[in-house]
Structures are given as C-alpha cells and as structure tokens.
C-alpha cells in the first residue's frame, strides 16, 4: 500500500517535473482501518532511495459514508453497525471512505 503511494508520488513528480519532493499529502479512508502511525512508519522506511527520500507526510482521514440500496438514505455509521438507520437494510453501499489516494505533493521543480 505504501509502495503504491510512493509509485503514484513518483509519477506525479515526474509528470510535473518535480525533482525533490518535500511533502506528501495522503488521504486514507477510515473503512480501510489503516493506522496512520503505522502508515507513516512504513512510508518513512519505503521512501529511501526515491525522490521522496526527504519528504514529510501528512495524513488526512476520510469518514465512511454509506448509501442504503433500499431507501437511498445516505449516512455515516456511528459504530460497527452499518445497518441503515431508516430501514435497517444491512447491505449499504460504501460511497466514501474506502479509498486511499495521494491528495497533493509539494516539492521543488527542475527550474527552481
């Protein structure tokens, strides 16, 4: 997972002509249940030898948002119970919070 992030970061840096990455902003959906501290630890280890070797990391978490297939109600689960609070449908679709993505990167481009 961290390798994926660094791969994406490397791609973005290449496309934008960034030679040195200073900061990586990542969004992690809560549904993935990734501990930010563990992710950061893995990131720090995996960044060695990449353009992001000196980069800091900012992690934003994204709340889980569900949509009920029965009544189309949209809600955030309050606890481990994901059932729809309106009609008790137990199979909501996860529309937010199950992804991890690189929101932005900051760095120095080749000219600067």
Residues that bind Zn ion (CB under 5 A): 68, 70-71, 73, 84, 86-87, 89
Complex with Zn ion: residue 71 or 108, whichever CB lies closer? 71
Complex with Zn ion: residue 5 or 68, whichever CB lies closer? 68
**Residue 94's CB: how many other CB atoms inside 10 A?**
15
Give min distance, CB of 66 to Zn ion, in A.
9
Nearest CA to 84 among 73, 95, 100? 73
Give min distance, CB of 69 to Zn ion, in A.
8
Complex with Zn ion: residue 54 or 90, whichever CB lies closer? 90
Q: Which residue has the tokens 């009920």?
A: 68
Give min distance, CB of 82 to Zn ion, in A.
11
For residue 61, give Cα distances in angstroms to 14, 65, 68, 72, 99.
Answer: 26, 12, 22, 25, 10
Give min distance, CB of 58 to Zn ion, in A.
35
Complex with Zn ion: residue 10 or 70, whichever CB lies closer? 70
Determine the 3-state secondary structure of 15 from DSSP: helix
Length of the chain: 112
Tell me the C-alpha distance between 10 and 93, whole Å: 32
């Amino acid at each position: 997972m961290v390798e994926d992030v660094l791969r994406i970061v490397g791609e973005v840096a290449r496309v934008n002509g960034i030679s040195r990455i200073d900061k990586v902003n990542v969004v992690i959906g809560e549904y993935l249940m990734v501990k930010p501290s563990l992710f950061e630890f893995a990131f720090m280890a995996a960044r060695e030898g990449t353009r992001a070797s000196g980069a800091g990391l900012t992690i934003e978490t994204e709340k889980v948002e569900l949509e009920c297939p029965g009544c189309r109600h949209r809600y955030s689960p309050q606890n481990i119970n994901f059932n729809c609070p309106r009609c008790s449908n137990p199979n909501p679709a996860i529309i937010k919070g199950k992804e991890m993505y690189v929101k932005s990167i900051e760095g120095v481009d080749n000219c600067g």
